[in-house]
């Protein structure tokens, strides 16, 4: 598989947009690189997979080898998914002594594995960054990889796949549109748009692709964009095609488009989404006069996605199914690896569409054998907050469906996942997780139902729109899902059920938020609805911080009111993961956070079973879970988060879907919660599996993994917005052994001699005295900043403790010098406030500790 980076050399491959097959190489250039690759492989005697990266000079015939990886590389999964050729499988067989001629191509089943894959389509990989979660981070993209996930789009034109990929990687984006960069400029507070665009073009960042769209809108010519970016002109002219068609759409209204089927078909051919077309069309002035029962028929006013869908189907502009067979149809083959495109006139595969009907009222009446097609929506792009945990849930659901005898159809767009392996499901649609695409596929396949609760927040957000268009959502009703996602509605439900929760209020204006803080006092927690990993959440400690956050985050909206609640310091956080069956609790597990409430659950360390809960707390957590399950008539997985303090148990939130901790719980108890939930969603009665935490012979600990070292200027602080990029889990005979093993597995190095202490809040200083004495007794040499040292010497009689100066105090001994010289083995820092400040002593200490410096404990 030959792949080409859209970005010029200097940007890490993992942070580059990648196109397969290469689009800008001449035939001669391609065969020279291929010939060179064969020579390298033969010279090194490679058996199995090999990855070779080249630098090619576009103005001459010269090229250089950058590196050779004689192993499966980061690109291997992408190459396998792009071609349909199972690289790892074939490499393993070769290592065992098989040869390519004797191995069959497991996709086509009619050719041998020695056939070189041939592509009659285009693939685009686009990485995803979550740098906005780190307030002080440098957003520049370069030779150090910063992305946390990626997507892959398949189509027949470059324009089609790049637009599909941009929507896949960010569901709020409609495609190659300048508005996405306008949002970035607003976030940065930039004034001169053209200057900002040209700076962005010269300095690569996660939003550079959208800055090109903005440049075209401003009238900057392709040649100037090329000089600023050094991106190949071929790619830039293809992107300009999208810009030109968008300009054509903006010049007409809905009735004019209705009379121009050719333009609509061309827009769909080069990747325009229905909602993208709706946004680009001019409005017909006046109030809409909808027809009875036909909201998708346009009359006047704002054009909606449903209006474009109705017009598209009326004009016969619909997608066709194409298959990936690794051979560009050179040999007859029927595969289950599929994608949709508008560049075609007929389906590559036969579509039966046979399926029974299921009511969409949330009941889980059993699926009949005749209605055996079930669609499972995958997790989409990995990001902070949604990663391999949800793919495990998806795969567990798929395996359960197939074991029962149903036909499992997967929709996903992530090449890194197991669920997108062609042999994991009966059919794989490598496609967008959008309302438009899922509706297109359901209309073709006519499934008995769709599972949205095992792929995380992305598919869960589609539930309401799909149900409104007649799609049966299996499991819990969409009204219940919507109630839990809407913070205001869920808070009202808890009040009606007399379930304790922190004092709260909704607001749609700044004034309403300030009125609440006057009553409750600070700190407060601001929470928008329909978000993942705590996005746009914030603990606010003052009126100035509240006003600044609300203006910068742009979270206040009358469509989705924001909930503000009293933030309770020092509370313990507890999680209930459970499965319900028509409102009855079938199975549950209770996990305890090591950190206090206020640290996002994805960044917190978990102990399972919970080790430090009173029996009464345990009982009340379960009782509240039962009450919510009954009230919401839950049929499937759900997760409830609690705060516990002074024998009070308060609900934080409830998610009617699989949680990121469900795989950890399933593996700890050796009970597959997703298998049980899947059977329930199909209407198969399940008996509770009695879990006995007290009889377990071991304790499990789950610990997060962070990537602060890769993010220049990021502040390694934890809060209500998730920042971890991975996790580990370990078992032990007690909580201490399990937690220590997990910490070491996560990369934590145990200190051998010198430890730095910098404790800000007075209460934490008091609480830390006993632990400081314990560390001194263990033989560690303790260093401390001025106020911490004075307090510990006064209250702990610690004469051996050495006082050091903070980074901005230019005197020795200095913390910064000790960090740079590697004298410290561990930094323990408890900051004063909830927010990061880039130019502070604490920031410098935390940046020096963690990452490439000594381990950091906060």
Domain boundary among 449, 474, 499: 474
Reported as a single tens digit per residue, the pLDDT across 346-375 is: 898 887 653 333 333 444 445 544 448 999
Domain span holding position 178: 4-102+120-151+165-243
Q: How far apart are CA 18 and CA 6, in angstroms?
A: 6
Q: Could you give phi then psi for residue 504, rounded to 5 degrees?
A: -145, 165
- Tell me: cis bond preceding 362? Omega within 30 of 0 counts: no
Domain boundary among 458, 474, 490: 474
79 found inside a domain = yes
**Which residues, including other chains, have CB under 8 Å from residue 421's CB and lie 6 or more apart?**
428
Same-domain pairing of 743 and 636: yes
**Alpha-carbon torsion (676, 364, 451, 627), positive or negative:** negative
User: Higher model confidence: residue 746 or residue 598?
Assistant: 746
User: Which domain CATH number covers 371?
Assistant: 3.40.50.20
Of residues 492, 478, 485, 502, the one with CA closest to residue 643: 502
773 found inside a domain = yes
**Which residues, including other chains, have CB under 8 Å from residue 256's CB and lie 6 or more apart?**
none
User: Higher model confidence: residue 695 or residue 414?
Assistant: 414
- Residue 293 confidence (pLDDT) above 70: no
Tokens linked to 341: 């495109």
545 found inside a domain = no
Number of structural domains the chain divides into: 5
Domain boundary among 748, 763, 779: 748
Reported as a single tens digit per residue, the pLDDT across 600-636 is: 888 999 999 999 888 889 999 999 999 999 999 999 9
699 found inside a domain = yes
Q: Quote the pLDDT of residue 534.
A: 45
DSSP state of 208: H
Angle, helix 662-669 to helix 388-404, in steps of 10 degrees? 60
Same-domain pairing of 616 and 765: no
DSSP 635-704: -EEEEEEEEEETTEEEEEEEESS--TTHHHHHHHHT--HHHHHHHHHTT---------GGG-S-EEEEEE
User: Higher model confidence: residue 349 or residue 677?
Assistant: 677
Go through 45-56 and write b for each residue having 16 or more CB atoms within 10 A of its CB, e for each that does not: eeeebbbbbbeb
Distance of CA 295 to the CA centre of its chain: 33
Same-domain pairing of 769 and 659: no
Q: How far apart are CA 602 and CA 595, in angstroms?
A: 11
Q: How far apart are CA 304 and CA 250, in angstroms?
A: 15
Q: Is 818 left (phi over 0), alpha (psi -120 to 50) or beta?
A: alpha
User: Which domain CATH number covers 578?
Assistant: 3.30.470.20
Residues in the chain: 858
547 found inside a domain = no
Same-domain pairing of 775 and 740: no
Strands (E) across 289-331 are located at 320-323
522 found inside a domain = no
Tokens linked to 180: 């996405």
Of residues 621, 660, 663, the one with CA closest to residue 643: 621
Q: Could you give phi then psi for residue 4, rounded to 5 degrees?
A: -125, 135
Q: How far apart are CA 197 and CA 343, in angstroms?
A: 33
- Tell me: cis bond preceding 813? Omega within 30 of 0 counts: yes
Same-domain pairing of 236 and 259: no
Strand partners, 4: 19
Q: Quote the pLDDT of residue 198.
A: 93
Same-domain pairing of 696 and 643: yes
Of 144-153, 254-263, 471-480, 562-571, which range is least confident? 562-571
Q: How far apart are CA 491 and CA 477, in angstroms?
A: 19
Q: How far apart are CA 303 and CA 319, in angstroms?
A: 22
Same-domain pairing of 755 and 632: no
Element (H, E) at 540: strand 538-540
Q: Quote the pLDDT of residue 44.
A: 94
Please enumerate, as own/partner, the contacts of 225-229 that have beta carbons within 8 Å and a separation of 24 or more: 225/201, 228/198, 228/201, 228/202, 229/8, 229/201, 229/202
Decide if 524 contacts 517 (C-beta within 8 A): yes
Please enumerate, as own/partner, the contacts of 466-470 that have beta carbons within 8 Å and a separation of 24 or more: 466/435, 466/438, 466/439, 466/442, 467/360, 469/435, 469/439, 470/360
560 found inside a domain = no
Of residues 605, 669, 677, the one with CA closest to residue 639: 677
854 band by pLDDT with thresholds 50, 70 and 90: confident
- Residue 87 confidence (pLDDT) above 70: yes
Same-domain pairing of 46 and 175: yes
Q: What is the mean pLDDT of residues 521-541?
A: 68
Decide if 643 contacts 572 (C-beta within 8 A): yes
Q: Quote the pLDDT of residue 357.
A: 34
**Which residues, including other chains, have CB under 8 Å from residue 848's CB and lie 6 or more apart?**
807, 815, 816, 819, 820, 827, 854
**Which residues, including other chains, have CB under 8 Å from residue 17's CB and lie 6 or more apart?**
5, 6, 7, 124, 125, 126, 127, 162, 165, 209
Q: Quote the pLDDT of residue 352.
A: 66
Share of the chain above pLDDT 90, in %: 56
The model's pTM is 0.91
DSSP state of 36: H
Q: How far apart are CA 329 and CA 331, in angstroms?
A: 5
Average pLDDT, the chain: 87
- Residue 533 confidence (pLDDT) above 50: no
- Residue 274 confidence (pLDDT) above 60: yes
Q: Is 776 left (phi over 0), alpha (psi -120 to 50) or beta?
A: alpha
3-state secondary structure of 730: strand
17 found inside a domain = yes
Same-domain pairing of 579 and 714: yes
Same-domain pairing of 461 and 596: no
Q: What is the CA radius of gyration of the chain?
A: 28
Same-domain pairing of 305 and 209: no
H helix runs in 633-693, sequence order: 662-669, 673-681
Q: How far apart are CA 130 and CA 857, in angstroms?
A: 23
Q: How far apart are CA 42 and CA 345, in angstroms?
A: 44
- Residue 804 confidence (pLDDT) above 80: yes
**Which residues, including other chains, have CB under 8 Å from residue 114's CB and lie 6 or more apart?**
100, 101, 103
User: Higher model confidence: residue 688 or residue 154?
Assistant: 154
- Residue 88 confidence (pLDDT) above 90: no
3-state secondary structure of 172: coil
Same-domain pairing of 305 and 416: no
Task: Output the CA angle 135-141-146, nearest 5 degrees.
Answer: 70
- Tell me: cis bond preceding 21? Omega within 30 of 0 counts: yes
């Amino acid at each position: 598989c030959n792949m080409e980076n859209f970005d010029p050399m200097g940007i890490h491959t993992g942070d580059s947009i990648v196109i397969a097959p290469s689009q800008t190489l001449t035939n001669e250039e391609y065969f020279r690189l291929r010939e060179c690759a064969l020579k390298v492989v033969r010279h090194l005697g490679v058996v199995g997979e090999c990855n070779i990266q080249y630098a090619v000079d576009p103005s001459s015939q010269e090229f250089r080898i950058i590196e050779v990886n004689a192993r499966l590389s980061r690109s291997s999964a992408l190459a396998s998914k792009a071609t349909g050729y199972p690289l790892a499988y074939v490499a393993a067989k070769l290592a065992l002594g098989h040869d390519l001629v004797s191995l069959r191509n497991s996709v086509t089943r009619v050719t041998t594995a020695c056939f070189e894959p041939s592509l009659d389509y285009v693939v685009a990989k686009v990485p995803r960054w979550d740098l906005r979660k780190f307030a002080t981070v440098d957003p520049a993209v370069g030779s150090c990889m910063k992305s946390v996930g990626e997507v892959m789009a398949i189509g027949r034109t470059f324009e089609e796949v790049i637009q599909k990929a941009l929507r896949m990687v960010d569901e709020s984006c409609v495609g190659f549109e300048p508005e996405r960069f306008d949002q970035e400029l607003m976030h940065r507070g930039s004034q001169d748009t053209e200057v900002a665009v040209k700076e962005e073009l010269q300095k690569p960042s996660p939003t550079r692709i959208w800055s090109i769209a903005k440049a075209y809108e401003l009238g900057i010519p392709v040649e100037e964009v090329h000089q600023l970016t050094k991106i190949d002109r071929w790619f830039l002219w293809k992107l300009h095609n999208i810009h030109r068609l968008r300009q054509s759409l903006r010049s007409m209204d809905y009735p004019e488009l209705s009379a121009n089927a050719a333009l609509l078909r061309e827009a769909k051919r080069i990747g325009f989404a229905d909602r993208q077309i709706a946004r680009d069309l001019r409005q017909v002035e006046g109030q809409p006069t909808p027809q009875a029962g036909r909201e998708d028929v346009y009359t006047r006013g704002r054009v909606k996605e449903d209006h474009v869908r109705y017009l598209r189907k009326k004009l016969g502009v619909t997608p066709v199914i194409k298959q990936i067979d690794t051979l560009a149809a050179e040999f007859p083959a029927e595969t289950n690896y599929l994608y949709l495109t508008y560049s075609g006139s007929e389906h590559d595969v036969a579509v039966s569409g046979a399926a029974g009907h299921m009511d969409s009222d949330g009941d889980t009446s059993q699926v009949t054998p005749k209605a055996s097609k079930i669609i499972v929506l995958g997790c989409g792009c990995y990001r902070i907050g949604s990663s391999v945990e949800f793919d495990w849930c998806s795969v567990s659901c798929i395996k359960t469906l197939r074991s029962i005898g149903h036909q499992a159809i997967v929709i996903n767009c992530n090449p890194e996942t197991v669920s997108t392996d062609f042999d994991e499901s009966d059919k794989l649609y490598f496609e967008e997780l959008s309302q438009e695409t899922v509706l297109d596929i359901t209309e073709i396949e006519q499934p008995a139902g769709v599972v949205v609760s095992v792929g995380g927040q992305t598919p869960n957000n589609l539930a309401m729109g799909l149900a409104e268009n007649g799609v049966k959502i299996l499991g819990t009703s969409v009204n219940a899902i919507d109630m839990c996602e809407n913070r205001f509605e869920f808070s009202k439900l808890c009040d009606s059920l007399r379930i304790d929760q922190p004092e709260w209020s909704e607001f749609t204006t700044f004034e309403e938020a300030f009125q609440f803080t006057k009553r409750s006092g600070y700190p407060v927690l601001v929470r928008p609805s329909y978000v993942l990993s705590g996005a746009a959440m914030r603990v606010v400690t003052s009126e100035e911080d509240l006003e600044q956050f609300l203006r910068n985050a742009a979270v206040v909206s009358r469509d989705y009111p924001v909930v503000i609640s009293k933030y309770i310091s020092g509370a313990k956080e507890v999680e209930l993961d459970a499965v319900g069956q028509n409102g009855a609790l079938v199975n549950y597990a209770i996990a305890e956070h090591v950190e206090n409430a206020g640290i996002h659950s994805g960044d917190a360390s978990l102990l399972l079973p919970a080790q430090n809960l009173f029996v009464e707390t345990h009982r009340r957590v379960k009782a509240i879970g039962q009450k919510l399950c009954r009230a919401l008539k839950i049929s499937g997985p759900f997760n409830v988060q609690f705060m516990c303090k002074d024998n009070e148990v308060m609900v934080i939130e409830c998610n009617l879907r699989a949680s990121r901790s469900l795989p950890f719980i399933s593996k700890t108890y050796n009970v597959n919660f997703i298998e049980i939930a899947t059977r329930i969603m199909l209407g198969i009665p399940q008996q509770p599996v009695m879990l006995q935490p007290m009889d377990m012979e071991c304790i499990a600990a789950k610990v997060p993994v962070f990537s602060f070292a890769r993010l220049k200027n990021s502040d390694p602080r934890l809060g209500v917005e998730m920042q971890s990029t991975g996790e580990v889990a370990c078992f032990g005979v007690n909580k201490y052994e399990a937690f220590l093993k997990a910490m070491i597995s996560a990369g934590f190095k145990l200190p051998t001699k010198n430890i730095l202490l910098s404790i800000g809040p007075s209460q934490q200083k008091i609480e830390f005295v006993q632990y400081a004495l314990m560390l001194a007794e263990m033989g560690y040499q303790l260093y401390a900043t001025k106020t911490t040292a004075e307090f510990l010497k006064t209250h702990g009689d610690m004469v051996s403790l050495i006082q050091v100066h903070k980074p901005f105090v230019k005197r020795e001994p200095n913390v910064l010098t000790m960090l740079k010289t590697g004298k410290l083995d561990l930094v323990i820092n408890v900051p004063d406030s909830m927010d990061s400040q880039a130019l502070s002593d604490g920031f410098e200490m935390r940046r020096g500790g963690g990452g490439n410096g000594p381990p950091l404990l906060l």
